[in-house]
Amino acid sequence: MASKQETAGRQMGYKCRIAGVLLLLLTSIAALIAVAVIQDTWKFKEYSLEYGIVIDSGSSRSTVYLYEWPGEKQNDTGVVTEIKNCRVKGDGISEMKVDPQKDAESWKAFQVCMDDIINAIPVAKQNATPLYLGATAGMRLLHEQDEKRSNDVMASLRKYLSSLPVNFKSASIISGQEEGLYGWVTVNYLMGNLIEKNVWNAYIRPDGAKTVGSMDLGGASTQIAFAITDNLTGPDYMPIKLYGYPYNVYTHSFLCYGKNEAEKRILDKVIQESSNPAYIINPCFPEGYNATIKASTIYDTECTKKPRGYNPDQEYFMVGVADSDRCLSMVKSIFDFETCSSSLCSFNGVEQPPVTGDFMAYAGFFYTARALLKNGTEDPDDFNSDFDRFNASVRQFCNSHWEVLRSEKTWISPRFLKTYCYSGHYMFSLLADGYKFDKDTFENINFAKQVKSTSIGWSLGYMLSMSNMIPSEVKEILPMTNPVFASLIFLFSALTIVTIVIVFILLIRSCF
C-alpha cells in the first residue's frame, strides 16, 4: 500500500516538475519572441535619416534632387525616396561660358536651388550629405564640339559645388550607356524588383522576379535598357551583379535622338526641301501656327550639318499646314532602318535583341504620351498603350488646327504644344520602327514620370551605385545585430536549450 502511494506521490512529483519545466520553456520562448519584437520596434526608433543630393544636368536644364533614407538599418527595398527637387532656372550647363552676364544669372539660379535643397536637410546632417553632379548628352555634345569650354564648365561647377556646406563627391559627364543603365536601376529599384525581405528578415531576390525595361527620352539623347536572359556579349551588353544576382542588361543611348535635337534635324530637312526661306511649309506644325525661326537655333549643334554659307542670324519663316503623313515621312527620314549587319537592329545599324517584358517609358515619352490624351489627367490607366489607338491619336493631333489644340489643351504651354505633332510621330516611329514594338509588345509599355512619388530618371540609380547602396553581393546588407540584442537572444536561447534538456532528462527518468 505504502509503496503504491509512494509511487503515485513520486509520479505526482514528476508531473509537477515537468509542468514547472514546461512553464520555464514557455517563458523562455515568450522572452525570445519579446526580445525579437522589441528589437524590431527599436529598429524603427533608431533610424536617423540620411540624405543624398544628385544634380541632373541635362541638355535643356539642371534639376537638383534630394533623397532621403533611413540610416543604420535597411528597412525594406525602395526605402530611398525623393523628398524634394528643384529646377534650376535658365538653360542647361552646356550653354555656360559664352556670355558672362548669363553665367552670373546661372550661378544665382544654382544658388537658389542649392539653398532650398540644403535647408531641407537637418543642419547636423549637412556635412555628411553626399553631393553628385552628372551631366548628360548636352555636355557630351559640347565635349565633342569644344572640349576646352566643356572642361571649363565642369571645372567651374566643381569649384562652386565644393564651396557648399555638404560633402561634394564628384561632378562628371556620364556616358550614354551609364545613363541608360542607371535609369534601368532606378526603375527596378523603385519597383522592388531587385530584392525584398522575406519573413525571416533576410534579403532575397523576389520570387519569380522579372525586371522592367527602361526608356528615357531626353532633350539631346534617348536611352533604352532591358535585361535579357541570353548570354549575348558586345559593347551594348552590360553584365552587372546586384545583391549577388547577375543580370545581362542591353543598353544603348542614341546621341542626337533626344526630343530637341531630333526636332532640329527634322526642321533642317524641312528647310532643305524648301526653296524659299521666307515661306517654308512645315507639315509638322499645326495649321494656323506660323513661326519665325533663327538659323542658329537649328544649326548651332553637332547634331545638324550647317548649310552652305551658313549665317546664324538668318531667319526662316515657317507656315504650319498640319499634314500628318508628310510629317511622318520627314520624321522617318532621320532614321536609317535598313542598314544592319547583325541579326536584328533598332536603327542606324545598331544591334538590338527583341524587346521583352514590361517597359517603363518616362521623361519625354511620358510628356508626349500625355499630350496626346484628351485632357491632362495623369491617371496611368488613361494612357494609350494600344498600338493602333496610339497611332490614331498622333494622327488626330497632327490634323488638328492650332486654335482647336489651344482651346482643348489649355494645360500645355504653347511653347511645347506646337511640338507634339512632330514628337508624337517621332516617338511612335522610334518605338514601332526603331525598337520594333508591335501590337502585342506595345501594350507592355507604361508611361510614367514617377514611381512611389520619386521621379524616374538616371539620378537615383546613379546615387545608389556611386554610394555603394546596391552592393553586388547580398551579404553586406543583412540586418545588423546589436550586441545587447545578440546577448539577450543568446541568453534566452541557452535557457531554452537547458530547459529542453531538463525536460528530456525528467521524461527519461520518469520512465523508470
Ligand X SMILES: *[C@@H]1O[C@H](CO)[C@@H](O)[C@H](O)[C@H]1NC(C)=O
Residues forming the active site: 179
Nearer to ligand X, 329 or 377 (CB): 377
Q: Does 432 engage in binding with ligand X (CB under 6 A)?
A: yes
Nearer to ligand X, 154 or 280 (CB): 280
Rounded CA-CA distance 354/445 in Å is: 14
Minimum distance of ligand X from residue 380's CB (angstroms):
13
Contact letters (x/-) for ligand X, 372-401, by CB under 6 A? --xx-x-------------x----------
Spatial CB neighbours of 41, under 8 Å, sequence gap ≥ 6: none
Cβ(232)–Cβ(353) under 8 Å?
yes
Between CA 61 and CA 56 the distance in angstroms is 8
Q: Which of 288, 181, 200 is nearest to 240 (CA)?
A: 181
Q: Is there binding between residue 170 and ligand X (CB under 6 A)?
A: no
> How many whole angstroms separate alpha carbon 465 and alpha carbon 244?
14
**Residue set of the binding site:** 219-223
Do the bridges between strand 130-135 and strand 49-57 make them parallel or antiparallel, or are there none, so unpaired? parallel
Query: Contact between 329 and ligand X (CB under 6 A)?
Result: no
Q: How far, in Å, CA of 18 to CA of 26, rounded?
A: 12
β-bridge mates for residue 299, sequence order: none
- Residue of closest CB approach to ligand X: 374
List the beta bridge partners of residue 87.
Answer: 63
Smallest distance, ligand X to C-beta of residue 325, A:
8
Question: Measured from the CB of residue 50, what is the shortest distance to ligand X in angstroms?
Answer: 11
Span from 10-18, 68-76, 167-175, 200-208 in contact with ligand X (CB under 6 A): 68-76
Pick the stretch among 228-236, 254-262, 369-377, 466-474 that binds ligand X (CB under 6 A).
Answer: 369-377
For 370-483, where are the E strands, in sequence order?
A: 445-447, 450-451, 454-455
The three three-digit cell numbers of residue 33, written as one number: 519572441
Within residues 473-512, the interface with ligand X by CB under 6 A covers: none
Binding mask 32-61 for ligand X (x = CB under 6 A): ---------------x--------------
Backbone angles phi, psi at 414, to 5 degrees: -55, -30
How near is the Cβ of 476 to ligand X at its closest, in Å? 20
Q: Which is nearer to ligand X, 204 or 432 (CB)?
A: 432
Q: Output the known binding site for ATP.
A: 219-223
**The binder of ligand X chosen from 20, 244, 288, 307 (CB under 6 A):** 288
Instruction: Return the amino acid letter for 64.
Output: V
Burial tier of 10 (Cβ tally within 10 Å: 0-12, 13-18, 19+): exposed
How many residues bind ligand X, per CB under 6 A? 13
Interaction between residue 450 and ligand X (CB under 6 A): no
- Give a three-class secondary structure readout of 408-424: HCCCCCHHHHCCHHHHH
If the CB atoms of residues 95 and 382 are measured against ligand X, the closer one turns out to be 382
How far is it between the farthest Cα atoms of the chain?
129
Q: Which residue, 377 or 481, is less far from ligand X as judged by CB?
A: 377
Contact (Cβ atoms closer than 8 angstroms) between residue 227 and residue 211 = yes
Query: Grid cell 540644403 — which residue?
Result: 118
Task: Pick the closer one to ligand X by CB: 174 or 194.
Answer: 194
Residues 72-101 that bind ligand X (CB under 6 A): 75-76, 79
Q: Which is nearer to ligand X, 27 or 399 (CB)?
A: 399
Q: Is 508 exposed, middle or buried (0-12, 13-18, 19+ CB in 10 A)?
A: exposed
Told to check if 319 binds ligand X by CB under 6 A, we report yes
Residues found near ligand X in the complex (CB under 6 A)? 47, 70, 75-76, 79, 288, 290, 319, 374-375, 377, 391, 432
